[in-house]
Amino acid sequence: MSSLDTVRSEFQRIHSTLPEKIARGPGRVNLIGEHTDYNDGFVMPIAIDREVLIAARARDDQKFCITALDVQGGQTDIFELADIPHHPDYRWANDVRGVAYYLTQRGVRPKGIDAVITSNLPAGAGLSSSAALEVCTATILLAFAPQKLNGVEIAQICQLAENHFVGVKSGIMDQYASALGQANAAIKIDCRALTYETVKLPRGVTIIVADTNMKRQLAGSDYNTRRMECENAVALLAQLLDRRVDALRDVSLKELKSVAKHLPVTLLKRARHVITENERVHRAARAAKRNDAVKFGALMAQSQTSLRDDYEASSPELDIMIEIAERQTGCLGSRLTGAGWGGATVNLVRDANVDSFVEQVAREYRTRTEIEPWVSAVRASQGAGMIELA
């Protein structure tokens, strides 16, 4: 049964009627540009053909009754728009509540709804299941409200929910990609200007995600520590360069090298990753426009080296997965995707070698780690929206 069939049938089972509306919010895979978004830099994600779905029907009151099918056999959260406290137990419920809260701060007043959530995104894999849930929540709530918001506004509201309600100081890339992704293309996002350009991907290659099945929780990982280190590096670089520096994006590699001896080693490494990663995003976009898949893949590999050595965001399982991938025929590049410290890798593989790559990587990783991975090709898909019901 497809996810769409599941969410419709489960809604009918729980509420004894069919849903009025169904929204989708896709996950994302970031091809290159990791940990640059919260440094006002550049990223190049795709929205993927795996997603969160929310089926809903309006209620006669202002209550929101929302059931998550995929969490411990199903969990239900009930709250009212006039009073949205932090949920003490359910992480997913705070994604939903946070979006509802910040929508009200923007003057959006949705009707109360009964809703059911399901997803075919592996949680904790670095495919932005949380951002997909947030964007899908905003989409379905706006469908039951007279007010309308555009994709950038939705992404901003969902980022506020993630940062201040859930407590993860994420950048805007995940929500932006889920809201504004393009079919059959990546989007190169300027995370300061909140603008993007469409980048057609090189022909003859497929994007494959390989989940290590080592889950991570961003709020409990080194993610917030890295953000603080970047902020500390910005403050110190402003002093050393004797000029205004708002983010690491504002510093060139030449400038960084000129003051490197005055920086603590840890801050130097963090800054070097972000500065060189921004340049790799620009170079990857140019390579894609030239249809140069080999160069694009090489830049992905360079990104992984920087993430592992300078940003220290890899993990033993990610390193094993990437080592296995790089030995496979047709693999042009492999790197972690998402924050790291677990989760998934993204791989650029020639079309002719996709089946063997999927089979071999899964088999060898299973043998090396005794962990069952999830390895699958993904396609660039359209961003969040409503599903037309028959």
Q: What is the pLDDT of residues 79-116, one digit of tens each?
A: 999 999 999 999 999 999 999 999 999 999 999 999 99
Catalytic residue among 40, 174, 211, 310: 174
Q: Which of 111-120, 334-343, 357-366 has the lowest mean pLDDT?
A: 334-343
Mean pLDDT of 285-304: 98
Average pLDDT, the chain: 95
Is 174 tagged catalytic?
yes
Record the pTM. Answer: 0.93
Supply the pLDDT for residue 87.
96
Q: Say whether pLDDT at 72 is over 90.
A: no
For 307-320, how does the pLDDT look when each residue is reduced to its tens digit (9 = 90+)? 999 999 999 999 99
Q: Say whether pLDDT at 42 is over 60.
A: yes
C-alpha–C-alpha distance, residues 315 and 295, integer Å: 25
C-alpha–C-alpha distance, residues 27 and 338, integer Å: 11
Which value, in Å, is the radius of gyration of the alpha carbons in the chain? 21
Q: Say whether pLDDT at 304 is over 50.
A: yes
* Helix, strand, coil shares, percent, the chain, to 5: 45, 25, 30
Structural domains in the chain, sorted by start: 3-200 (3.30.230.10), 205-378 (3.30.70.890)
User: How would residue 218 be classed by pLDDT, with cut points 50, 70 and 90?
Assistant: low
Q: Which of 166, 177, 22 is nearest to 96 (CA)?
A: 166
Q: Say whether pLDDT at 217 is over 90.
A: no
Q: Say whether pLDDT at 220 is over 60.
A: no
Given a contact cutoff of 8 angstroms between Cβ atoms, the answer to whether 50 and 127 are in contact is yes
Percent of the chain beyond pLDDT 90?
A: 91
